[in-house]
């Protein structure tokens, strides 16, 4: 399936279709009369599906994941169970897609599928304001934040890292109550502010190494580390994802002009880590860029140009378009209510709307 449908220039919409066409969704149940519910759901999501296949499990998986991204109310409780099943399978499939794309050297599609992973984790569209990741922040609040000068999540994180009270006051000015701002502020302190440093070392006439250091600038909250160890990566804030997941990152080296991926590694860390990426020596003569992509958060990705002349250090700057080959969207996502409590989502019957009628891998297979 992947070899037939993956190529060097796929956007997130097409990648979602590839994901949902996987054999893992063959047995997703489509119960009696659910084809009608699926056809109705198809009118509410932004990306079109063939309604003639409304009784197909792969079409249903696509619709459920789009409803997940849009945070739409679901027509019945079985759909919540089915969404959970779709999400449970999605991570393994997306990771396999990343590995295949990296081996093929397709930079643009690789970054897009990483965006898809972020969307799955956060139940948000990648084109939406990243501050929507915070609890209680609605589209209206996000718009007011932008008018106050906060255009992206890293900007608000920077304010919070200096003064949490100031960040909460800003959110109250944007429309949150004091309690809501405090809840969002607690999440802000959990999100990672990562300093990214890299330098090039030429090993021989044929090979070169890019040495990358990642350091978390803000302290972990007490007890935040996952895996039962002080050195384990902290658990990600992903209340709309049904399983606990540790924070992880992809380090991607690619040529932004040729869109060729040179190396990729998955990393996770508690406070800092040091990684070596091996590339052909002639690759550093091109427009080589290091992309640091979160596997669970939207808006926290970084990129930095790699040169052999001097070391480079980069902090997240809060720019909306931090990755030049990231997808561009030309539609408004379906609006849904944001009044639910994320932490209780999977156990909250209020999320059901009843109808009114009827592994570490790089292109050279290095391990971190």
**What confidence tens digit (pLDDT) does each residue in 52-82 have?**
999 999 999 999 999 999 999 999 999 999 9
pLDDT per position as a tens digit, 208-228: 899 999 999 887 765 555 555
Phi, psi for 110 (deg, rounded to 5): -60, -45
Strand duo 194-202 + 312-314: pairing: antiparallel
Q: Which two tokens stand for residue 28?
A: 């997703």
Least confident of 9-18, 243-252, 254-263, 350-359: 350-359
Which pLDDT belongs to residue 300? 96
Question: Could you give the CA distance from residue 39 to residue 106 in angstroms, rounded to a whole number?
Answer: 35
In the prediction, which pLDDT does 100 show? Answer: 95
What is the reported pLDDT for 366?
A: 44
Say yes or no to pLDDT of 134 above 70.
yes
As a whole number, mean pLDDT of residues 293-302 equals: 97
A 10 A CB-CB count for 119 gives: 22
The Cα–Cα gap between 209 and 310 comes to 14
Residues 314-339 have a mean pLDDT of 40
More confident site: 340 or 184: 184
Cα–Cα nearest to 343, from 190, 240, 213: 240
* 3-state helix vs strand vs coil in the chain, percent to 5: 40, 15, 45
At 255 the three-state DSSP class reads strand
Q: If you average pLDDT over residues 202-211, what whole number do you get? A: 80
C-alpha gyration radius of the chain = 21
Mean pLDDT across 203-211 = 81
Q: What H or E segment, with its residue span, contains residue 93?
A: helix 77-104
Half-sphere exposure for 235 (CA within 13 Å, toward CB): 16
What is the model's pLDDT at position 3?
72
pLDDT reported for residue 357: 37
More confident residue, 315 or 51: 51
Least confident span in 109-113, 280-284, 340-344: 340-344
What's the pLDDT at 318?
44
* CB of 287 closer than 8 Å to CB of 189: no
Average pLDDT over residues 163-192: 96
Q: State the angle between helix axes of 57-70 and 77-104 in degrees (0 to 180), rounded to the nearest 10.
A: 90
Please give the pLDDT value at position 1. 65
Per-residue pLDDT for 250 more than 80?
A: yes
What integer pLDDT is reported at residue 264 of this predicted model? 97
DSSP H helix total and E strand total for the chain: 10, 8
What phi, psi does 199 have (nearest 5°)? -150, 155
pLDDT surpassing 60 at residue 184:
yes
DSSP state of 196: E
| Local structure of 57: helix, strand or coil | helix
Question: What pLDDT, on a 0 to 100 scale, did the predictor assign at position 331?
Answer: 31
Q: Which residues lie below 8 Å from residue 2, measured CB to CB, with a gap of 6+? A: 18, 96, 97, 100
365 pLDDT higher than 80: no
Task: Reply yes or no on whether the pLDDT at 332 is more than 70.
Answer: no
Alpha-carbon distances of 86 from 29, 233, 290, rounded to whole Å = 11, 25, 32
More confident residue, 75 or 204: 75
pLDDT at 312 over 50: yes
Q: How confident is the prediction for the chain on average, in pLDDT?
A: 84
Distance CA 42, CA 51 (A): 7
Q: Is residue 204 very low, low, confident or very high in pLDDT (cuts 50, 70, 90)? A: low
pLDDT band at residue 48 under the 50/70/90 scheme:
very high
Q: Angle at the Cα of 170 (from 166 to 173), degrees rounded to 5?
A: 140
The model's pTM: 0.85
pLDDT tens digits, one per residue of 96-132? 999 999 999 999 999 999 999 999 999 999 999 999 9
pLDDT band at 243; cut points 50, 70, 90: very high
Asked if pLDDT for residue 335 goes beyond 90, the answer is: no
Measured on CA atoms in the order 246, 252, 256, 261, is the torsion positive or negative? Answer: negative
Average pLDDT in the 285-300 region? Answer: 92
Lowest mean pLDDT among 79-93, 127-141, 227-241: 227-241
N-to-C CA span, the chain: 29
């Amino acid at each position: 399936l992947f070899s037939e449908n993956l190529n060097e220039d796929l956007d997130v919409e097409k990648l979602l279709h590839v994901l949902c066409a996987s054999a893992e969704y063959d047995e997703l149940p489509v119960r009696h009369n659910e084809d009608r519910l699926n056809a109705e759901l198809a009118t509410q999501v932004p990306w079109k599906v063939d309604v003639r296949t409304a009784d197909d499990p792969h079409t249903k998986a696509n619709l459920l994941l789009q409803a997940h991204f849009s945070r739409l109310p679901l027509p019945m409780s079985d759909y919540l169970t089915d969404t959970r099943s779709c999400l449970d399978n999605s991570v393994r499939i997306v990771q396999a897609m990343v590995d295949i794309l990296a081996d093929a050297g397709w930079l643009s599609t690789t970054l897009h599928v990483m965006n898809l992973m972020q969307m799955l984790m956060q139940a948000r569209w990648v084109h939406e304001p990243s501050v929507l990741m915070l609890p209680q922040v609605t589209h209206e609040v996000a718009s007011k934040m932008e008018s106050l000068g906060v255009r992206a999540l890293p900007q608000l994180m920077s304010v919070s890292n200096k003064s949490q009270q100031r960040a909460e006051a800003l959110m109250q000015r944007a429309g949150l109550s004091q309690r809501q701002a405090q809840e969002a502020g607690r999440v802000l302190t959990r999100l990672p502010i990562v300093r990214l440093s890299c330098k090039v070392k030429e090993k021989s006439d044929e090979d070169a190494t890019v040495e990358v250091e990642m350091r978390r600038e803000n302290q972990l909250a007490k007890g935040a580390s996952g895996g039962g160890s002080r050195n384990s990566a902290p658990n990600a804030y992903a209340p709309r994802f049904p399983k606990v997941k540790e924070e992880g990152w992809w380090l991607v080296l690619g040529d932004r002009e040729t869109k060729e991926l040179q190396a990729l590694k998955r990393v996770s860390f508690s406070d800092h880590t040091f990684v070596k990426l091996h590339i052909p020596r002639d690759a550093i003569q091109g427009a080589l860029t290091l992309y640091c992509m979160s596997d669970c958060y939207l808006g926290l990705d970084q990129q930095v140009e790699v040169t052999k002349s001097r070391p480079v250090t980069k902090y997240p700057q809060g720019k909306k378009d931090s990755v030049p080959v990231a997808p561009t969207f030309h539609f408004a996502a379906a609006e849904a209510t944001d009044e639910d409590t994320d932490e209780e989502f999977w156990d909250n019957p209020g999320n059901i709307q009843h109808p009114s009628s009827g592994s570490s891998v790089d292109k050279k297979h290095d391990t971190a």
